[in-house]
Amino acid sequence: MEKRELNTMNYSTTGIGWLSVVGGVLSISTQIYLLPLMRNLEYLAQGQIPTFLIDYLCRPTCCIPMLLSITVIIIGIILIRKGKSS
């Protein structure tokens, strides 16, 4: 009986890992997709925009969500590996 419960736990750990990876990838793709919109809004607000897109990573409003998305992806990968190894 314990072994059956352990297998169910492994599947849920792997499933949560996959969900977090997919959610993190969707979050990063949304951020990248909306970056031109952010550039246009910044141009309207300030009259100038950064020359390179990488300059947006120096700003906390773009850097923190990107780091959180990458962290969620890494945690998801760890959960997937943990679920498959045990």
Look at residue 9 in the predicted model and tell me its pLDDT.
Answer: 56
Look at residue 26 in the predicted model and tell me its pLDDT.
Answer: 95
How far is 74 from 60, CA to CA, in rounded Å? 21
| Residue spans of the chain under pLDDT 50 | 1
Residue 48 tokens, joined: 């100038």
User: How many folded domains does the chain comprise?
Assistant: 1
Look at residue 1 in the predicted model and tell me its pLDDT.
Answer: 46
20 within 8 A of 76, measured Cβ to Cβ: yes
Domain boundaries, position 56 = 2-82
Is the pTM of the predicted complex or chain greater than 0.85? no
Q: Nearest-CA neighbor of 24 among 82, 79, 74?
A: 74
Look at residue 8 in the predicted model and tell me its pLDDT.
Answer: 56
